[in-house]
């Protein structure tokens, strides 16, 4: 196997024997095969579009299947193999339709690829279509091609979340197909690859806008909300991942059953949505970020649901309590299917002891998404003008296990009192419960939401630039991003495509970025790796 799509890749170069995430060579090969067959399906979908044929089921499938290959989503070989088969079926059906209407299909191996019958043979086929098998003589084109694919994985994740809540834009699907199909080409220049990668950033902005609309039109605009970190005596269900609809369905199905529902990891900001917080048994937040789940889930006295990434290998001491749903899968872990009947989860929660007593572990405040922050914009602008607010820091992104990520908690501690910190993503769990005080009533730590809510951060930055009548790059704002998986890649591409400079990225730079491509990003966007909190603060604040 060879995979280097995430930040924890082995030795900073690539996982070759087994994924640090737990991905087996078998699953890695099948995911490579799925991406390869999706490229073929995308070529056919583009040819179909030329004939006026646009199939919603193909569009949604491409987004879902691509999302399934994102880090920490699907570890089940049989499930990935099923997706490959479905991909070939969709491809062949659409191919026949294009041919019957006299359409032109490109000459391509991926369009005519014959899928093997057995799982073992499919794994072999996957091995023949992995990253290393791609013949790009130019290492920089190879690097940009992989960057495009990882950006597309992030866009697919956002598109899928938005689609679940009824928000779609065909232009997003067109780009997913165009981008996937393009990666089969060997005739594009370096400049054309850069253009495609930047286009991915722009399309991701549109996709995040769709997701923002999906979340806020369904559940209302988040409002500042205090979330208890302790527990309530009684039976319990823990919901992790990022899917708001799954949480809503669990809240509905547990009503009146004597069960309290808790959030874990990236579900924390859900407490701020009016249409979710209205449930009285939606109690509080338990635990921290994804990489601590094996310890935290083992101690949770109730049932656990993983709605999206990031799942880790379920340990024996909580294997009987955990369920997956949506695109998440782990071999032998019960999966709640498309009917979203969570009764097995409820049954398990009622069998388990639950929390024996009320416990108080303090609270955190969430719900400072775009609307809430902009409602105090005048106060913020005044604060800056009067010199009470010196600088804004956006410290957001993913968390992870590496000790180098302590940089993010250290810098938050060292940021001077006259600065405001905006945060989002699971990276905030390094500092989410620190008491940082306020500046004239404006909390110094503002939680904008999930990594999926990066659109809010961009809107806030654009609104501030408008208010101060300056370019975003001239604002007293610094972006310090922690990345882990491919949604973060898509967000980074969006920032670059908006011309945002000086982004600090850590804890390490992506292994798939070649030295020359990095050089391009440094020269054109002043992208830099994080150094030490002291040095970075000195460079930023002078
Ligand atoms: Fe974290 Fe995982 Fe939200 Fe990522 S839970 S690491 S960017 O997959 O999704 O922030
Ligand atoms: Fe390795 Fe990350 Fe790929 Fe998992 S997703 S195999 S940890 S590079």
Helices in 51-114 by DSSP H: which ranges? 56-68, 77-100, 109-112
Q: The domain 225-351: what is its CATH number?
A: 3.40.50.2030
Q: Which ligand is nearest to the CA of 23?
A: 2
From 3.40.50.300, 1.10.760.10, 3.40.50.2030, 3.90.78.10, which CATH number describes the 372-541 domain?
3.40.50.2030
- Average pLDDT (412-434) is 97
- Average pLDDT (498-502) is 97
Pick the residue whose CA is nearest to atom 6 on ligand 2.
19
Spatial separation of the C-alpha atoms in residues 449 and 227, rounded to whole Å: 13
Residue 394 three-state SS: strand
Question: What size, in residues, is the chain?
Answer: 542
Q: What is the DSSP letter of 429?
A: G
How far apart are the CA of 22 and the centre of ligand 2, in A?
8
pLDDT single digits (tens) 78-115: 999 999 999 999 999 999 999 999 999 999 999 999 99
- The answer to whether 411 and 395 have CB atoms below 8 angstroms apart is yes
Q: Is the pLDDT of residue 454 over 90?
A: yes
Q: Which ligand is nearest to the CA of 28?
A: 2
- Average pLDDT (192-210) is 98
Closest-CA residue to 335 (of 511, 78, 127): 78
The secondary structure of 294-358, three-state, reads HHHHHHCCCEEEECCCCCCCCCCCCCCCEEEECCCECCCCCEECCCCCCHHHHHHHHHCCCECCC
**What would the two tokens of residue 387 be?**
């010199």
- Of 270, 287, 484, which is best to mutate to test ligand 1, by the most ligand atoms within 8 angstroms of its C-beta? 484
Question: What dihedral angle (degrees, nearest 10) is formed by the CA atoms of 485, 498, 367, 528?
Answer: 50
β-strands 442-443, 438-439: how paired? antiparallel
Confidence at 135, pLDDT banded by 50, 70, 90: confident
Tell the residue number behind the tokens 């004239």, with chain if given.
440
Q: What percent of the chain has pLDDT over 70?
A: 100
- The answer to whether 286 and 262 have CB atoms below 8 angstroms apart is yes
Residue 461 CA neighbour count, 13 Å, CB half? 26
Judge whether 1-134 and 372-541 match in fold. Answer: no
- Average pLDDT (156-182) is 98
- The answer to whether 201 and 494 have CB atoms below 8 angstroms apart is yes
Q: How far is CA 313 from the centre of its chain?
A: 19
Spatial separation of the C-alpha atoms in residues 268 and 248, rounded to whole Å: 13
- The answer to whether 1 and 130 have CB atoms below 8 angstroms apart is yes
- Of 241, 242, 308, 402, which is best to mutate to test ligand 1, by the most ligand atoms within 8 angstroms of its C-beta? 242
- Average pLDDT (513-533) is 97
Spatial separation of the C-alpha atoms in residues 501 and 495, rounded to whole Å: 8
Q: Can you give the pLDDT at residue 136?
A: 85
Spatial separation of the C-alpha atoms in residues 102 and 80, rounded to whole Å: 33
Q: Is the pLDDT of residue 481 over 90?
A: yes
Q: What percent of the chain has pLDDT over 90?
A: 98
Q: Is the pLDDT of residue 510 over 90?
A: yes
How far apart are the CA of 341 and the centre of ligand 1, in A?
25
Closest-CA residue to 7 (of 530, 493, 480, 512): 512
Q: Is the pLDDT of residue 224 over 90?
A: yes
How far apart are the CA of 190 and the centre of ligand 2, in A?
26
- Average pLDDT (265-278) is 98
* The ligand 2 atom nearest the CA atom of 18: 6
DSSP characters over 183-238:
TT-S---HHHHHHHHHHHHHHHHHHHHHHHHHHHHHH-----EEEESSB-SBEEEE
- Average pLDDT (211-220) is 98
- Average pLDDT (117-129) is 98
Closest-CA residue to 458 (of 173, 206, 268, 131): 206
- The answer to whether 149 and 178 have CB atoms below 8 angstroms apart is no
Q: Which ligand is nearest to the CA of 32?
A: 2
**Residues having CB within 6 Å of any atom of ligand 1:** 72, 242, 265-266, 290, 309-310, 398, 425-426, 450-451, 484-485, 487-488
Fold of the CATH domain 1-134: Substrate Binding Domain Of Dnak; Chain:A; Domain 2 (1.20.1270)
Pick the residue whose CA is nearest to atom 3 on ligand 1.
451
**CB within 8 A of 17, min separation 6: which ones?**
1, 10, 25
* The ligand 2 atom nearest the CA atom of 28: 6
**Residues having CB within 6 Å of any atom of ligand 2:** 3-6, 8-9, 15, 19-21, 23, 71
**What would the two tokens of residue 148 be?**
């495009």
How far apart are the CA of 263 and the centre of ligand 1, in A?
15
Closest-CA residue to 199 (of 141, 153, 146, 148): 148
* The ligand 2 atom nearest the CA atom of 6: 2
- The answer to whether 240 and 306 have CB atoms below 8 angstroms apart is yes
Q: Can you give the pLDDT at residue 137?
A: 86
* The ligand 1 atom nearest the CA atom of 483: 7
Q: Is the pLDDT of residue 342 over 90?
A: yes
Pick the residue whose CA is nearest to atom 5 on ligand 1.
310
Give the orientation angle of helix 190-219 with respect to helix 244-254, to 10 degrees.
20
How far apart are the CA of 123 and the centre of ligand 1, in A?
28
- Average pLDDT (284-299) is 98
β-strands 391-397, 419-424: how paired? parallel
pLDDT single digits (tens) 350-363: 999 999 999 999 99
- Work out the mean pLDDT of the chain and round it to a whole number: 97
pTM over 0.95: yes
* The ligand 1 atom nearest the CA atom of 309: 8
- Average pLDDT (530-538) is 98
Closest-CA residue to 369 (of 254, 221, 187): 221
How far apart are the CA of 405 and the centre of ligand 2, in A?
18
Pick the residue whose CA is nearest to atom 2 on ligand 2.
6
Report how far apart the first and last C-alpha atoms of the chain are (Å, whole number).
46
Q: Which ligand is nearest to the CA of 29?
A: 2
Domain ranges of the chain: 1-134, 225-351, 372-541
Q: Can you give the pLDDT at residue 289?
A: 98
Confidence at 345, pLDDT banded by 50, 70, 90: very high
How far apart are the CA of 95 and the centre of ligand 1, in A?
36
């Amino acid at each position: 196997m060879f995979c280097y799509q995430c930040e924890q890749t082995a030795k900073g170069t690539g996982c070759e024997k087994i994924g640090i995430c737990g991905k087996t060579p078998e699953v890695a090969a099948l995911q490579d095969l799925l991406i390869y067959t999706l490229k073929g399906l995308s070529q056919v979908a583009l040819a179909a579009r030329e004939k006026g044929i646009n199939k919603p089921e193909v569009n949604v499938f491409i987004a879902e299947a691509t999302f399934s290959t994102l880090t920490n989503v699907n570890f089940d070989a049989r499930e990935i193999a099923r997706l490959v088969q479905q991909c070939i079926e969709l491809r062949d059906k659409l191919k026949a339709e294009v041919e019957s209407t006299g359409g032109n299909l490109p000459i391509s191996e991926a369009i005519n690829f014959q899928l093997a019958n057995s799982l073992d043979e499919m794994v072999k086929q996957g091995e023949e279509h992995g990253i290393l098998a791609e013949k790009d003589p130019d290492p920089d084109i190879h690097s940009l091609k992989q960057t495009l694919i990882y950006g597309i994985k992030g866009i697919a994740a956002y598109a899928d979340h938005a689609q679940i809540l009824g928000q779609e834009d065909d232009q997003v699907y067109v780009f997913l197909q165009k981008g996937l199909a393009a990666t089969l080409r060997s005739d594009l220049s370096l400049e054309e690859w850069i253009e495609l990668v930047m286009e991915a950033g722009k399309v991701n902005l549109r996709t995040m806008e769709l997701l923002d609309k999906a979340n806020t039109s369904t559940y209302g605009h988040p409002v500042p909300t205090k979330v208890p970190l302790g527990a309530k005596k009684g039976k319990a269900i823990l919901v992790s991942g990022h899917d708001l609809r799954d949480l809503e369905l669990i809240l509905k199905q547990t009503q009146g059953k004597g069960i309290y529902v808790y959030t874990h990891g990236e579900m924390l900001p859900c407490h701020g949505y009016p249409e979710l917080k209205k449930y009285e048994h939606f109690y509080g937040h338990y635990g921290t970020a994804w990489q601590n789940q094996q310890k935290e889930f083992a101690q949770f006295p109730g049932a656990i649901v993983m709605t999206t990434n990031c799942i880790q290998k379920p340990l024996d001491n909580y294997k009987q309590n955990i369920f997956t749903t949506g695109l998440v899968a782990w071999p032998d872990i019960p999966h709640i299917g498309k009917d979203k009947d969570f009764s097995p989860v409820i049954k398990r929660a009622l069998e388990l002891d639950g929390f024996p007593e009320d416990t108080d572990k303090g609270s955190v405040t969430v719900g400072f998404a775009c609307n809430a922050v902009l409602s105090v914009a005048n106060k913020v602008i005044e604060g800056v003008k009067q010199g009470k607010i010196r600088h804004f820091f956006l410290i957001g992104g993913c968390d992870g296990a590496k000790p180098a990520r302590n940089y993010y908690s250290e810098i938050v501690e060292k940021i001077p009192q006259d600065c405001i910190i905006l945060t989002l993503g699971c990276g905030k769990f390094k500092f989410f419960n620190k008491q940082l005080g306020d500046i004239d009533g404006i909390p110094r730590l503002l939680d904008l939401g999930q990594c999926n809510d990066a659109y809010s951060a961009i809107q806030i930055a654009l609104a501030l630039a408008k208010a101060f009548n300056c370019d975003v790059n001239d604002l007293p704002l610094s972006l310090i991003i922690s990345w882990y998986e491919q949604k973060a890649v898509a967000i980074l591409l969006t920032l670059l495509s908006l011309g945002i400079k000086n982004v600090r990225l850590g804890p390490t730079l992506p292994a798939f970025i070649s030295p020359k491509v990095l050089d391009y990003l440094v020269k054109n966007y002043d992208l830099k790796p994080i150094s030490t909190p002291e040095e970075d603060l000195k460079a930023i604040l002078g």
